[in-house]
Amino acid sequence: MDWNRLPAEKREAYAANSSQITPTDSSVSSEVLYFEQALRWLANAGRAVFLTSPEFKIREHDADFRAMLFYHVEDIIEYTPEEYPSLDQRYIATVLSKEADEETALAFRYDPTESEAMLAQEISTDRPFTARALMTPDPDLYDPTTPIAEAYLDLVYNDYDAAPVDSPNENAPPEGYISRAAIRTQDGGTAQDHLQSFSSEVLIDPDTGIREVIQRLTETRFIFVGSESDIRGIITRFDLNRLPVYLYLFDCFSEFEIGLRRLIRTTVPDWDTIQTVSIATRPEESVFSDRIACGKLGDLIDIVTEAGVEKEIRSDINGADITLNDIKNLRNHVAHYNPIIHTMSDSSTAEDVARGARQLDKELAFLHDCNAGLN
C-alpha cells in the first residue's frame, strides 16, 4: 500500500486511529498500520502473525513505532528461497502479542535440523564437561548508542537472550550487557542507558563443571563465561541441549543402570518369576551369564518397583518430588537425542510435558542420589 497514493481523506482516517502517524507524514509503512490495528483487536493471550518486509526493524521512518511498541514483538523469523525453493524472495514473519508474561513471550524456537546438527558435532576440547564446552564463544557486541528498540528487535531476530555492550572507550572491555527480558519493560533510550553490570550472578569460570552450570542456570536465564575484563562466551538455558550435557548424562545413566542390575541380582534373584515383567529372549543370551544384562532401563525399573525394593536405592524414594519414571523419561530423551530443555521458564515444570532448567536440575540431583544409594 503506497501511502502517498492514498486520497487525503483516507490518510486522515488512518492517522485518526493511529498514535504513530499524521496525515502530513511523507512516508508511512503499511506494517505499522496493520500492527497497531492488530494490537487493538487482540485479546491479552492473542497473537497476530504478519509477513513483513525485512527492513521494518531498522527503517528510519518506523523509529517511533519501534520505540513505543517494540515490546509487543514476540518473534521475528526469516524465510529465504535457499531454505524454501517455492519462495520468490526473502520474507520475514513477525509475531505480535499482547501477552505481558515474559515466560510466554520469550518462547523457544526449536529447529530440529539446527539442533541435530549441533548434537552431531565432535567435541574437541580436552575437558568436554565444562562451561567452556557449552558456551557460544565471542558473543556479538552491541554499540552503546544503539536505540533500545532496535537492540530488542535484533535480539529477537537473532534468537539471543542477552549480549554484551561495547565500551565507548576504544580498546576497553565491555562495561556491561543488555538482556531481552530486562529491556522489554523499558522505554526509550540507548543500550548504554539500560546497561547492566557484570556481576558474580551472571559470570562463571570457563572450567566450571556441567553440574554446577546446570545449578546456576536454575537461578538465571543466561550466564557469561569469563571475567568482567574478558568475556569468552555466553550460555543460556537452551544451551543445555548441547552434546556435552548429553554425554555427561550418558555417564550418569550408565552408572544408574549398572547399579540397578547389581541391586536386582542381590535382592531379587528370582526376578523372572514376576509375571508383569518380561525381558525378551535374544541371541545375545548365549554371550551373557544372565538375562538381566540384556534388560533396558524401563525393564530394570519395573523389576525393582514390582519387587518392592526401590527403598534399597534411597529410603525416601516414595516421598521424593522426582520419580523413577521421570528418570526413565529423561533417559529416553537423552538416548534419542531429543531436546531435554523445552522452555526458558523459571517456574517448576514437574507437571508439564515441557522441561525447564529447574526440573532438569531436580531430576539430575535425584539421579545422583540414586547412584550414591546404589554404590
Q: In terms of domains, do 362 and 249 share one?
A: yes
- Which one has a higher pLDDT value, 63 or 259? 259
Q: How confident is the model at residue 105 (pLDDT cuts 50, 70, 90)?
A: very low
Closest C-alpha to 303, from 274, 325, 328: 274
Q: What pTM was computed for the model?
A: 0.78
Using DSSP's 3-state secondary structure scheme, residue 161 falls into coil
Q: In terms of domains, do 175 and 66 share one?
A: no
Q: Which three cell numbers stand for residue 215?
A: 545449578
The parent domain of residue 89 ranges over 3-100
**β-bridge mates for residue 301, sequence order:** none
Helices (H), 84-206: 102-105, 112-119, 131-134, 148-158, 180-183
Mean pLDDT on 224-235: 94
State pLDDT tens for residues 268-290: 888 888 767 777 665 555 555 67
Residue 353 in contact with residue 326, Cβ under 8 Å? Answer: no
Closest C-alpha to 328, from 303, 357, 358: 303
Closest C-alpha to 48, from 67, 31, 24: 31
Find the farthest-apart pair of alpha carbons in the chain and give their distance in angstroms, rounded.
90
End-of-domain residue from the set 241, 256, 279: 241
- Which one has a higher pLDDT value, 362 or 114? 362
Q: In terms of domains, do 118 and 234 share one?
A: yes
Does residue 267 form part of some domain?
yes
Closest C-alpha to 77, from 105, 109, 102: 109
The three-point CA angle 353-348-304 to 5° equals 65
Closest C-alpha to 161, from 100, 89, 239: 239
State pLDDT tens for residues 130-175: 999 999 999 989 999 999 999 999 998 888 899 999 998 888 899 8
Does residue 105 form part of some domain?
no
> How much is the pLDDT for 18?
77
Q: In terms of domains, do 370 and 254 share one?
A: yes
- Which one has a higher pLDDT value, 184 or 130? 130
Mean pLDDT across the chain: 84
- Which one has a higher pLDDT value, 116 or 375? 375
Does residue 218 form part of some domain?
yes
> How much is the pLDDT for 282?
59
Q: In terms of domains, do 142 and 32 share one?
A: no
Rg (CA), the chain: 26
Q: In terms of domains, do 124 and 224 share one?
A: yes
End-of-domain residue from the set 220, 241, 262: 241
Residue 46: other Cβ atoms inside 10 A = 13
Q: In terms of domains, do 35 and 95 share one?
A: yes
Number of domains in the chain: 3
- Residue 360, class by beta-carbon neighbours within 10 Å (0-12 exposed, 13-18 middle, 19+ buried)? buried
> How much is the pLDDT for 106?
45
For position 135, which CATH number holds? 3.10.580.10
Mean pLDDT on 61-69: 79
Does residue 13 form part of some domain?
yes
> How much is the pLDDT for 280?
66
Does residue 35 form part of some domain?
yes
Edge-to-edge strand ranges of the sheet holding 73-79? 47-52, 91-97, 73-79
Residue 198 has pLDDT above 90, yes or no: yes
Does residue 92 form part of some domain?
yes
Q: In terms of domains, do 357 and 321 share one?
A: yes
Q: In terms of domains, do 199 and 189 share one?
A: yes
- Which one has a higher pLDDT value, 345 or 229? 229
End-of-domain residue from the set 75, 100, 125: 100
CA separation for the pair 246, 184 (Å, rounded): 33
The separation between CA 323 and the C-alpha centre of its own chain, rounded to angstroms, equals 24
Q: In terms of domains, do 227 and 120 share one?
A: yes
Phi, psi angle pair for 331, to nearest 5°: -60, -40
Q: In terms of domains, do 136 and 124 share one?
A: yes
Q: In terms of domains, do 91 and 146 share one?
A: no
Does residue 295 form part of some domain?
yes
Does residue 106 form part of some domain?
no
